[in-house]
A and B are shown apart, each in its own frame.
Chain A
Amino acid sequence: MHDFSQALAVAFSMILSLDEGLVRIIGLSLRVSLSAVAIATLIGLPLGAAVAALSFPGRRAVAVALNTMMGLPPVVVGLVVYLLLSRSGPFGVLGLLFTPTAMIVAQTVMIVPIVASLARQTVEDLLVEYDDLLRVTGAGPVRRLATLLSEARWSLVTTVLAGFGRASAEVGAVMIVGGNIEHVTRVMTTAIALETSKGDLPMALGLGLVLMTLSLTVNLAASLLKEAGARPA
């Protein structure tokens, strides 16, 4: 129990003192994960909706593939992105390895399947209601997807949050492609791993609590947004 109370004390003093190093790490965590979520949303929502509402060859296969890829181990994603971005890899000339950009790429790859899969399910459920209507109005594929996504938007907030949760909590991928470089690519999860390595368990757990607080803030904001938006309906 002593460890836990110590961790709580560490977490509180860190949040209260807002030490510069911590602010930087939190800022980078948010920057990387929110960027990845934004990109994954732009790709994943239309993709999921397309798989749900359009008919094209291989549609079921894509759906199964997306579901499977929801379980992609972060370490594997990290390794693949690392090999691609390494100086000896195909995209080595870009010099992106060990930068926040590389971390955003890895997290995006990881959460696109989550956003797309969950969006597919949501839109598929909605389609039961709207299919006839859309058929009658003779909407083209783009119009069809736009209408469905727009109607499902508040349910999709949860989809996007699931993506954010996965991105902000993973350590395997960002550790490999970011390298956990102090001031440059160190984020909350890799900092936690580092403190664990040093045997400073209260500090590690304290950082974990700060990360949870951060996640709570983001989720709370999303939930307020969702509530405010859904109310007029």
Chain B
Amino acid sequence: MLRRSFVLGCAAAAALAGLVQAAAPSAALAADRFITVASTTSTEDSGLFGSILPKFTAKTGIEVRVVAKGTGQAIDLAKRGDADVLFVHHKPSEEKFVAEGFSTLRKPVMYNDFVVVGPSSDPAGVKGSKDVAQSLSKIAEAKAPFVSRGDDSGTHKAELALWKTANLDPAKAEGGWYRSIGQGMGPTLNTAAAMNGYALTDRGTWLNFKNRGPLTVLVEGDKRLFNQYGVMLVNPAKFAHVKAADGQAFVDWLVSAEGQKAIADYTINGEPLFFPNASDPGA
């Protein structure tokens, strides 16, 4: 009797698990035709993909599965052959990716810019500056908390390059004001908000970011804060399983007039987050 009720219980549990499996056919159905895109947290967290991908899928029937990581991680993922398309923002790394044969062609897609955000009390006194190098020097001088991504992402690489233009090496910073947290853009902004710190962020993530606390944009408009995005198909000669045709269709759509318009059309409070520039061959 006892054993029977136990067996019944097990059967019920198994049936329940089966039911849950049956109730979730989405993955099986959606798996018909899709590509995997390794991209960056900025494109995902800013809401850009949520806005433009449905347009691409409606036109082509190709579902786009986005794995959003820092640029460094996204490139590593693509190098292992775990993505069909790479869509990131650090031109030197992208060119290296192509030079190493992991892709045959990089195409510029769009740009936005980085901004330095910080507490409105602005202890380093950088508000309104258009000289990012000078502003970073002031932050270092004031030993005001600066929160760094520290995760080998495109934004992190850009930040390190900016410190270099200021002739400073934050790795040697003393006094604990430079805080490398090894996390994505969102957590970095959360941390900066919590400790009244400064941070470098891409404008897209910033505009879509809700937990701003005391943070506000302090430094913007320096041409060194330019942030270019590029896209490339992972080389099918390197990885036979890469979905070359569908992946190429996505790359081509992004740089087509239609894709470029979709990018330009994505705004928050009337403010565009990304500016298409596929027609600029040098970008």
Contacts and interface: CB of A to CB of B under 8 A. Distances in A.
Are A and B physically bound partners?
yes
Contacts of A225: 9, 12
Interface in A195-233: 196-201, 225, 228-229, 232-233
B5 A229 contact: yes
A199 B211 contact: yes
Interface residues of A, number: 38
A181 interface: yes
Interface stretch (B107-115, B160-168, B184-192, B259-267): B184-192
Interface string B80-106: 111000000000000000000000000
Interface residues of B, number: 44
Contact of B24 (A27, A87, A99, A229): A27
Contact of A98 (B1, B17, B26, B36): B36
B269 interface: no
B20 interface: yes
Nearest to A83: B80
Interface in A33-70: 34-35, 38
A123 interface: no
A38 B81 contact: no
Interface string B1-12: 111011001001
Nearest to B34: A184
A35 B24 CA distance: 12
Contact of A150 (B3, B50, B193): B3
A24 B13 CA distance: 21
Contacts of B135: none
A88 interface: yes
Question: Interface on chain B toward A: helix, strand, loop, or mixed SS?
Answer: helix
A86 interface: yes
Contacts of B17: 34-35, 38
B48 to A, nearest CB: 13
Given A198-B210, A232-B2, A184 B241 contact: no
B82 A34 contact: no
A190 B6 CA distance: 35
Contact of A198 (B12, B30, B208): B208
A180 interface: yes
Given A180-B68, A197-B45, A232 B81 contact: no
For the complex of A and B, 7 pairs with smallest distance between CB atoms = A197-B186, A199-B211, A87-B81, A179-B67, A88-B80, A199-B210, A199-B209
Interface of A: 24, 27-28, 30-31, 34-35, 38, 86-89, 92, 95, 97-100, 150, 153, 179-184, 194, 196-201, 225, 228-229, 232-233
Given A95-B241, A181-B66, A229-B6, 16 more contacts: A31-B20, A31-B23, A38-B13, A86-B80, A86-B81, A88-B80, A88-B81, A98-B65, A180-B68, A181-B36, A197-B187, A199-B189, A199-B211, A200-B211, A229-B5, A232-B2
Interface of B: 1-3, 5-6, 9, 12-14, 16-17, 20-21, 23-24, 26-27, 30, 36, 41, 44-45, 50, 65-68, 80-82, 184-187, 189-190, 193, 208-212, 239, 241
20 contacts: A27-B23, A27-B26, A28-B27, A86-B82, A87-B81, A98-B36, A98-B82, A150-B3, A180-B67, A180-B68, A181-B67, A182-B50, A182-B66, A197-B184, A197-B187, A198-B210, A199-B189, A199-B210, A225-B9, A229-B5
